[in-house]
Each structure stands twice: as structure tokens, then as C-alpha cells.
Amino acid sequence: MGLKSHVKRRKRVAFVILLILSIFWVLPLLWAFGTSFKSATDMANNIITIIPRDFTFDNYKNLFTGSENYPIFNWLMNSALISISHTLLYLLFATMAAYAFGVMRWKGRNVVFGMLLATMAIPSVINLTPLFSMVIQFGWLDSEAAWKSIFALILPGLGGVFGLFILRQFFKNIPYDLIESAQIEGLGHFGVYRKIVLPLGKSAIMVAGLFAFMGSWNDYLWPTLTAAVHFDPKWYTLQTGLATMQSQSNYDPGLVIAAAIVSILPVLVVYMFVQDKIIEGVSHTGIK
């Protein structure tokens, strides 16, 4: 009885701590969501309150009708195109690499994979200068053809190691007897990859895909650097566009908060639909 009561007490304490942390995490989001529906006067007089006293949709109306100053639809389409394309291409390359490191048996694979993991310790800022020089040499940053910057935003991040690590850990746990049985039946590596590994690894693929999508959608520094070359607002991503809205002389905090809420929604919607698979994938890959 003493042990059971001690375990229950620890669970209660952990629940209370997590509940408090969750409240502190959710409160700023609730405040931003409520503030996006406040009028300018209400925002000035009741800045701390979450629930607006003067409820209005004016901030969202002005956001989606002021296309001359801030083409929000272009920014949304650019971010969606870049994030979806980047995620699909990343999953293609990462799943094949994870198959090579997690399923195939070849000498030195752990050493090579360890070297790849070691690159995660290198700050990404260090790579900005050589990466910027490379995309210029490839012709992806052109002041007269701003649309080429899409290639500079999609392709450089395809070598990310974190998603590869998640997929490799999952693929490594697939029983090798199953792989051998498929090979005895006549399947080659591509057949095993397509018919066995990918269907079994759906949950891990969703986890890696979500992280890739979030990283591309929320990225600010690299898209802003590329935008500094072509300087065409129609080809900005949503995050870069938000920064320009905050730096304009006619700064409108309600408008900026509404735009920030719009930028949060896609990732939130994606997570709501795949949260069960994400929890399953994380538990099976051993990530704590």
C-alpha cells in the first residue's frame, strides 16, 4: 500500500506541475487570439485582458483586403508551396537514407551515421555565408527573377539530420527476419523499402514530416536573407512578410497579431489531424 500511495502521490505532483506549465504556455496564445479581435481603442485601454470588450473582425478584414501594402495571400501561397514541397522532398530523401542506415547491413554504417549526427552540434548560423554564396552561384538569387528564390528556400534544407535520425531509429526496430523473408520471396531493396518499410513506418514518417513542415513554415532568418536580394514583396514568405508589417511606419499591432494567428493555424491544424500518429511514432523511436 505504501508503494502504491507513493506512486499515486508522484503522479499527482507531476500532473499539477505539467498543468501549471501548460497554462503558462497556452495563456500567451489565448491572449493573442483574443487581442486579434479587439478594436484599436479596446487594445489601448484593455491590453492585458484576453476576452475583447469591443469584439470586431476589422483586423482580419484589413489584413485580407490590404493587399497593396501587404499581399498576405501571396505570402501564404509562397509559404505553403515552399513548406509542402520541402517536406515531400525531404521525406523522400530521408526515408531512403534511413533505410540505408537502419535496414541495410554494410560495414561502417554506424560510423558514417555518427558523423552525420555530429553535424547537428554545428550551429546553423555558421553555414549561412557558404550557403548564401552557393545559391548565388547556382543562380537562385536573382534581383530580376524573384521567383527563383523558391529553389533557394526548398533545396538547401533537404540534408537535415534530425528527421533522418527519427526515421532511422524506427526502421532499425523493424524485425530483420521480416526483411530477410521478403528478400527470399524475391524483393530487392527498393521493393522492401516500398512495400514493407514505408507502410510500417507511417507514424515515424508523419513525425519527421511534421518537424520538416514546421521548420520550413516557421523559418525566418534564411527567407529574409534571400528576400534581401530580390526585394520583391510578392515573393516573400509569411514570416518575412510579418517582419515587414512590423517595421512599417504605419505600424498596426492588431493587424500584426491577426497575421501571426493566421501563421499559426496551418501547423496547428496539421498537428490536430496527425497527433495520434505523432505520439505513436515518438514512442516507437525512443525519443524522450
Q: Enumerate the domain spans of the chain.
A: 1-65, 70-285
DSSP-derived 3-state class of residue 55: strand
Percent of the chain at pLDDT exceeding 90: 16
- Indicate if the pLDDT at residue 278 is higher than 70: no
- Indicate if the pLDDT at residue 165 is higher than 70: yes
The pLDDT confidence band at residue 67, using thresholds 50, 70 and 90, is low
C-alpha 98/C-alpha 198 separation (Å) is 11
DSSP-derived 3-state class of residue 93: helix
Over range 68-82, report the average pLDDT: 88
Pick the CATH number of 70-285 from 3.30.200.20, 1.10.3720.10, 3.30.750.24, 3.30.70.360: 1.10.3720.10
C-alpha 109/C-alpha 6 separation (Å) is 45
Q: What's the pLDDT at 79?
A: 93
The pLDDT confidence band at residue 154, using thresholds 50, 70 and 90, is very high
C-alpha 210/C-alpha 274 separation (Å) is 9
In 103-185, alpha helices (H) = 109-118, 128-137, 149-154, 162-172, 176-184
51-81 per-residue burial string, b: 16 or more CB within 10 A, e: under 16: ebeeeeeebbeebeeeeeebbbebbbebbee
